[in-house]
Structure 1
């Protein structure tokens, strides 16, 4: 019998061994998992490599893989002068506005519209028919976002069948592996088809080829007045790209026969299906038919090398590539509340419980990492940007054409790119901006008779930049908004602010920013009191009430216009200063910035949306565009402009917390910038509210589908990206002249740790741990050197001989621009400066 002391030490030793095992164990992979197949597209699971996308349904006898290729769009190069008379109406529009004849201005502005964008198209479907006479048991399907693969598994008559799907970026193929636990028990037919025009052919005996043609034009899904909304025939050979899809079977045993009905496999144990696809797209300004790439050569060039590799080799290369990016960031929230029972629950059940108010911090961190997974999977460095649905779309006429909507949605897609350590995946957007700037220069001249370049509400793979609306059929409140190009340029400068890449600033960002600033400089006109205003001006996509009860869409100097132009001008001045170039232009822009119509506080204490203090037709409109200066801009902040920040808060209170998915996501960012973490967290929980495929009321719905896609409704990926951008803002902000740690920490996240986030100024937050709302440890790595200023909720001490000084005066780091931080703004906050060297880590712990 053990004595009491011995007994005590045995127990203690056992506890220590157990604890050691838990601490040394590998973290559980991030997974979405379910006990049943997907009933519909909003329950299917997305995989992709930035170019190829797959939605995996996980059906037992009739599996469906819905396929996309990111360059498969309708149409061809944009007509940059579709309305030659457009600019002749500009003086009339301005005259009507200055006379406050808003109704006439709206009517005239419709005469300044061009054509609609083209549409992102579905590639096709792969169906795997696997007939069984008995019902399956032990059904399971998942999406493992730790290695970017989807698995379906079930048992029939004692045989376990498994399907694994991943999309390889290194090898540019879709890989589907089917296995049976019993030798020779695998029998299936894999067939393919497309909703677009196509024909099938058999290559050898194990390969099926689908060759097709995209429409020459596809109307947006909301256009209902054209008898032929989808047009294929185009005699110019300049519209309607070709595409090719091939499926090849690589069996380990059994027999394979192929005809146009499919690839037939019998008595096999394991089979790998390789899918390759390509289009003839050859750039935004090239005819995709007569001047297109050879899609057949491309598709074979992807398929043949991959087919010579083993499944293990393909998977290892895929995982290594993907995890290089995904593993950069880890996030743990309130670990004491993370019960193993929740992670053992299917994702749809977890979402259901979460909606009732249960705590589930691991669901929140899963959602964060899922957003990063989506960006890696839909926006590869050399490819096309993520569109309204990333790369996943099953419709020939998708919602809003699944295009690049640049009055908020496309920009929101890339808010998390830099801060969540996925800077490379920002690059596709820069490529699109280059293309749009080319057509946008013609648009500025042809529609307005002024210099520089501009873009409006929508663009597409062809870089369309004109006001959309089909020559007068669209509403000017969205179609004729001219600030899309100026807003896009913010992303160019943000990339520089995070990375300090002066070559990028000099060669790419600044020339594009300057062109947009030239347009805005010419677009502005003097009005009362010497202020510069925009006219015409709209605020996407809101409507105001005129005296007498009539409604107005078009006015002058909307707050959003002023915010975007002020942001662009500030960035251009800073960039030209860093590059020591364009002194005269810098002076011109500085002078015009000082004359911009200032932000106004309305009679309700809110930030005014229009030039006058008009009432809203819809006081809770989903767009809150006039708060651009708060986020993603930086000219309104509680520390620097407390009165305007208070007005922004009042605006949000009046607007309410309702809204579509992306609207809720934007509001999370707003409340985080107002340092109100609890309100931001409230909206995060609402964004994660489980929604069925049917959705709810459009105006105030939002929520999340069972596959974690954001429910606009319908699905729009911007809500996912905006949501995780807001979570980042709650933990880390760096838009002013300092890095603010735990800037908007909610009570529900009192304890946690995040590794790998990035801050402006070229700083990596290698590690940040906090307890009871206070930073307990932070490790900051400087990538380019220079001064670092941090703002923390509690006092810190430095290790390694680093000199921490209380912040005072202007920050000498040229990447941090703006006013100094008033240290008295918060009685508990501590603000420190310290000098850094490139490539060195700096560690601080709680005093």
Structure 2
């Protein structure tokens, strides 16, 4: 059996129409609108308006211009840097006794300064590949009418259509995973297309053209520093050497599908289309990246040969073959889940997506189609950016246009990396979890060195605040950065919980057996890192990600001991490792050690304001509405806090969220959707979901009606701001938490259903225990329910105020309820 389980195999490869993909008629005319389509009436000017496509490795950002069409390109393996083999601060752990003594003496100012001694280097940066421009030499603004730009996420196909001089001109774009290429098809019903194709890159790059094909050879820098680091001049943030760094070759081939025109190549590297009515442009790229531990310049892949092969295979196919292959592959994943939570007024549905989003935000309009589209868009994005082993979706998923992107466009492990995968299992995209799960084994390799050199532990592995394609694990900061973020070290405890989660949804023991050492190693580090104070085990030093306390004497700092988030993540990691060992029948002594440790862990405390206490002492936060809520980890994504099992602590979690308010960043809002759902708070969960969909203007827009803050951009990408993709995935996961929650032994239906969604249906969502759920509800009550068991097993269903135990065979589908 493969290590993941494909729940549904689609029977109609060319067209898969989910329940959501029906057409809603527009009021007053004959137009129809696909409920799973983003659509606009003008080209994109800013990135935050452009449409993104991807095949899990290559990505494109499509602007849809009529005079010049810009297509920005990415490859998820194109990073700065080389294998992470050096220890920046050897023996950093020797500073620990000093820091702990300062904390024991309650000298937080000096402890904060001393904590910087346990910092290593920064992560490397994710890089843009380049940009393909299509300059239409005979298009003028006055010629263009009836413009429409769209992205159909049921097909993963973007389109631009407009009338030019009375004739239809169409551009269609898709990224094929089976063929590993991006395809653009240009068609004109008029006298033909006249355009120049040109490839440019911000990276060192040479471009040539021959026989209708552009060839671009380039390389990334061998080392980069983040844009926010001020320790070097701006022009030294990226260091280049022709003999070092990841190389790439990009091929762009134009193929005429008719005999009306010509394709010509020029020494400048341009390719010109002259009078063709039907042209296919195929884009292929391969980098020399050959694994996290191999030098990409001296041990890299034969990228030139591989890209040539990819182009040759794709170019032999007809347009129908290319598209058919793409659709079959994509729709077998996307078509597994459908969601219908009501219908939007046809007059509103006929509006462009950006206008709908603005009205939804500014006038509070009901728009269930938009709410469901946002959920499915999260699934679309995960399929599009997470299909490369060992290279998970980064801060921007796959799509980046900047040499110095925000936060290096890296993997931030104190929430963002993990949030990218919260919907992978529940939204029936278990295969898309694989890039993260395979990445964890890379982290263990480097993380063992970090555990020894920076923290002095004898066992296990750990991960700091940031990592990158080279699986860097050391605490960042170069000994000069704020400990509130730079010195955090619980990333391994957090990310390793995804191993147990994947097992609970697939019940794949072979997978669990292979990956158990990773989970065990993370737990061993946690136990070795704990210290004793007043009879309890806790962490020292520690921080609560990016937040700062305020001591009674007015000092604001981050370094302390016994922080709740550290202990929550430790507790969850130990619980998961113990259950994994029990499931596999292994390591009795390890289980005993975990049991002893759990009994001695510092317990949760409720603060004087009724909140869940974040710090060892009942201190105020420097910012009471801080975006991070890491100390609520045990409620979500953890499982050891809940209204049923720990009602007092659940009420304290709710009070914490009340104090924090609802004005926060995109990814944080996505997290709060899930937290409110776990609290069974249907009113606040819907309120915060609407906040997540608050309209935010493009970052570069300077108009008087500009809207800033956290929310959603016109193209439905998450606004942190700037863009971070994690909010999209958090919101997607949150919708399922409203509709269904599960444990290894139970499935609860409609636990936090908003009153705004009284009637609806969902098909294909996944529950722990290896179950797939499809249901329909009316007036807030489940009326139809079908359950499928992947591996066989027992569960208790909770719905409509009743409990029902079921025991099913592997592969069995059973109708549980039909009113």
Task: Tell me how far 1:381 sits from its aligned partner.
Answer: 5.5
Distance 2:35 2:329 in 1: 17
Match of 2:428 in 1: 421
Distance 1:728 1:40 in 2: 31
Task: Tell me how far 1:737 sits from its aligned partner.
Answer: 3.7
Give the gaps of 5 or more residues in structure 2: 1-21, 26-31
Answer yes or no: is the 8 Å Cα contact 2:392–2:439 preserved in 1.
yes
Match of 1:17 in 2: none
Distance 2:157 2:707 in 1: 35
Q: Which of 399, 402, 405 in structure 2 is aligned with 1:395? A: 402
Answer yes or no: is the 8 Å Cα contact 1:51–1:378 preserved in 2.
yes
Q: Which of 288, 295, 303 in structure 2 is aligned with 1:295? A: 303
Classify 1:141/1:307 alpha carbon distance in 2 versus 1 (closer, same or farther; 3 Å).
same
Distance 2:157 2:226 in 1: 33
Answer yes or no: is the 8 Å Cα contact 2:643–2:650 preserved in 1.
yes
Q: Which of 465, 468, 474 in structure 2 is aligned with 1:457? A: 465
Equivalenced residue count is: 781
Classify 1:421/1:413 alpha carbon distance in 2 versus 1 (closer, same or farther; 3 Å).
same
Answer yes or no: is the 8 Å Cα contact 2:24–2:34 preserved in 1.
no
Distance 2:297 2:215 in 1: 19
Match of 2:100 in 1: 94
Task: Tell me how far 1:234 sits from its aligned partner.
Answer: 4.6
Task: Tell me how far 1:139 sits from its aligned partner.
Answer: 0.6
Q: Which of 518, 543, 556 in structure 1 is aligned with 2:561? A: 556
Runs of 4+ in 1 over 6 A off after TM superposition: 22-27, 695-700
Indicate yes or no: 2:814 matched with 1:845: no
Match of 1:677 in 2: 682
TM-score, normalised with respect to structure 1: 0.90
Task: Tell me how far 1:105 sits from its aligned partner.
Answer: 1.2
Indicate yes or no: 2:537 matched with 1:565: no
Match of 2:536 in 1: 531
Indicate yes or no: 2:758 matched with 1:750: yes
Classify 1:747/1:477 alpha carbon distance in 2 versus 1 (closer, same or farther; 3 Å).
same
Answer yes or no: is the 8 Å Cα contact 2:697–2:707 preserved in 1.
no
Match of 1:342 in 2: 348
Residue by residue over 1:124-169, the C-alpha shift from the partner in whole angstroms, topping out at 9 and shown as x without a partner, is 0000000324431011110010100110111121221111010100
Task: Tell me how far 1:832 sits from its aligned partner.
Answer: 2.0
Distance 1:286 1:665 in 2: 36
Residue by residue over 1:341-378, the C-alpha shift from the partner in whole angstroms, topping out at 9 and shown as x without a partner, is 23222111111111111101011111111110000000
Residue by residue over 1:210-237, the C-alpha shift from the partner in whole angstroms, topping out at 9 and shown as x without a partner, is 10010111221211331143333459x5
Indicate yes or no: 2:90 matched with 1:118: no
Residue by residue over 1:373-407, the C-alpha shift from the partner in whole angstroms, topping out at 9 and shown as x without a partner, is 00000001536211000000000000000001000
Match of 1:626 in 2: 631
Answer yes or no: is the 8 Å Cα contact 2:157–2:173 preserved in 1.
yes
Classify 1:383/1:207 alpha carbon distance in 2 versus 1 (closer, same or farther; 3 Å).
farther
Classify 1:85/1:580 alpha carbon distance in 2 versus 1 (closer, same or farther; 3 Å).
closer
Answer yes or no: is the 8 Å Cα contact 2:208–2:269 preserved in 1.
no
Task: Tell me how far 1:185 sits from its aligned partner.
Answer: 1.8
Distance 2:542 2:668 in 1: 22
Classify 1:398/1:677 alpha carbon distance in 2 versus 1 (closer, same or farther; 3 Å).
same
Q: Which of 528, 531, 542 in structure 2 is aligned with 1:522? A: 528
**Where do 1:479-628 residues align within 5 Å?**
479-508=486-515, 510-528=516-534, 530-628=535-633
Task: Tell me how far 1:80 sits from its aligned partner.
Answer: 4.1
Distance 2:394 2:532 in 1: 37
Task: Tell me how far 1:587 sits from its aligned partner.
Answer: 0.5
Distance 1:107 1:696 in 2: 40
Distance 2:744 2:687 in 1: 25
Match of 2:6 in 1: none
Task: Tell me how far 1:186 sits from its aligned partner.
Answer: 1.0
Match of 1:813 in 2: none
Match of 2:49 in 1: 43
Larger radius of gyration: 1
Match of 1:32 in 2: 38
Q: Which of 34, 56, 59 in structure 1 is aligned with 2:62? A: 56
Residue by residue over 1:664-708, the C-alpha shift from the partner in whole angstroms, topping out at 9 and shown as x without a partner, is 111111100000111111011111111101389999921110100
Match of 1:667 in 2: 672
Match of 1:244 in 2: 249
Distance 1:45 1:298 in 2: 28
Indicate yes or no: 2:806 matched with 1:834: yes
Distance 1:139 1:33 in 2: 10
Task: Tell me how far 1:835 sits from its aligned partner.
Answer: 1.5
Distance 1:554 1:224 in 2: 23
Residue by residue over 1:6-55, the C-alpha shift from the partner in whole angstroms, topping out at 9 and shown as x without a partner, is xxxxxxxxxxxxxxxx9999994510000000011000000000000000
Distance 1:672 1:29 in 2: 26
SS class of match (1:756): strand
SS class of match (1:321): helix
**Where do 1:697-736 residues align within 5 Å?**
701-735=709-743
SS class of match (1:411): helix
Classify 1:683/1:306 alpha carbon distance in 2 versus 1 (closer, same or farther; 3 Å).
same
Task: Tell me how far 1:534 sits from its aligned partner.
Answer: 0.5
- Bigger relative contact order, structure 1 or 2, given CA contacts below 8 A and separation 6+? 2
Task: Tell me how far 1:290 sits from its aligned partner.
Answer: 1.0
**Where do 1:632-671 residues align within 5 Å?**
632-671=637-676
Match of 1:770 in 2: 777
Match of 1:357 in 2: 364
Indicate yes or no: 2:77 matched with 1:71: yes
Task: Tell me how far 1:261 sits from its aligned partner.
Answer: 4.2
Answer yes or no: is the 8 Å Cα contact 1:691–1:704 preserved in 2.
yes
**Where do 1:240-389 residues align within 5 Å?**
240-252=245-257, 253=259, 254-259=261-266, 260-335=268-343, 338-355=344-361, 356-380=363-387, 382=389, 384-389=391-396
Distance 2:743 2:630 in 1: 19
Answer yes or no: is the 8 Å Cα contact 1:152–1:163 preserved in 2.
yes
Q: Which of 239, 244, 257 in structure 2 is aligned with 1:232? A: 239
Distance 2:240 2:169 in 1: 45
Q: Which of 179, 188, 196 in structure 2 is aligned with 1:180? A: 188
